[in-house]
């Protein structure tokens, strides 16, 4: 059924967080990444022959995600996907802790669900590792430090494609 609404239905986190931090007395709003040009690469072979990996913004351990833990604690990482992780650290990240929880890793990093797609042949294989880039509010550290490091790991693992999941 359709509805008529005088507002957009989905939440604007850019607007919401700006107003929230302004109410806390922070006068300089966070400046979000914006790109006029966005790169695009089509798959170069059938998906059924591709090896696919996953990137998460969650941390491996509490120490790595702790507020104030500093830059070194937010280093990107590669971790074995076998056995799949049963818990990742998300407490310090910006997500709705009143409405939901992150006790089920597959709800934000679908390692088990992706692996199931190999059984039916939809994808060729999954990466032996998954990759983490714990949220760092510095865009230059993310794009110039974490991103090339993760690309290197993806190449080491022979990936054809990677799915990024942001909490």
Q: How near is the Cβ of 7 to other proteins at its closest, in Å?
A: 10
Least separation in angstroms between residue 59's CB and other proteins is: 15
109, with CB counted inside 10 A (0-12, 13-18, 19+), is buried
101 in Cβ contact with 50 (< 8 Å): no
What the block records as the tokens of 164 is 């990024």
Q: In the complex, which residues of this chain contact other proteins (CB under 8 A)?
A: 9-17, 19-21, 23-26, 32-43, 47, 52, 68, 90, 94-104, 106-110, 112-114, 116-117, 122-123, 161, 163-167
- Least CB distance from residue 13 to other proteins, whole Å? 5
Nearer to other proteins, 38 or 155 (CB): 38
Q: Which is nearer to other proteins, 35 or 155 (CB)?
A: 35
Residue 46 corresponds to which tokens in the numbers above?
A: 């059938």
In the complex with other proteins, the residue whose CB is nearer, 70 or 83, is 70
Tokens encoding 138: 């510095």
Q: Which is nearer to other proteins, 123 or 154 (CB)?
A: 123
Closest Cα to residue 149, out of 160, 141, 139?
A: 141
Cβ 39 to other proteins shortest distance, Å: 7
Mark residue 158 as left, alpha or beta (left: phi above 0; alpha: psi -120 to 50; beta: remaining). left
């Amino acid at each position: 059924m359709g509805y008529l609404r005088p507002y957009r239905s989905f939440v604007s986190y850019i607007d919401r967080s700006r107003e929230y931090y302004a109410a806390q007395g922070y006068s300089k709003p966070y400046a979000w990444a914006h790109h006029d040009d966005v790169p695009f690469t089509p798959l170069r072979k059938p998906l059924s022959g591709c090896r696919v990996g996953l990137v998460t913004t969650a941390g491996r351990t509490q120490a790595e995600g702790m507020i104030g833990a500093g830059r070194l604690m937010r280093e990107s990482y590669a971790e074995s996907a076998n056995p799949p992780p049963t818990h990742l650290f998300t407490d310090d990240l910006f997500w709705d802790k009143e409405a939901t929880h992150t006790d089920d890793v597959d709800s934000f990093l679908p390692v088990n669900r992706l692996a199931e797609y190999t059984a039916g042949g939809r994808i060729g294989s999954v990466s032996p590792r998954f990759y983490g880039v714990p949220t760092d509010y510095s865009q230059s550290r993310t794009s110039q430090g974490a991103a090339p490091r993760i690309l290197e790991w993806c190449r080491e693992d022979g990936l054809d494609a990677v799915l990024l999941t942001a909490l």
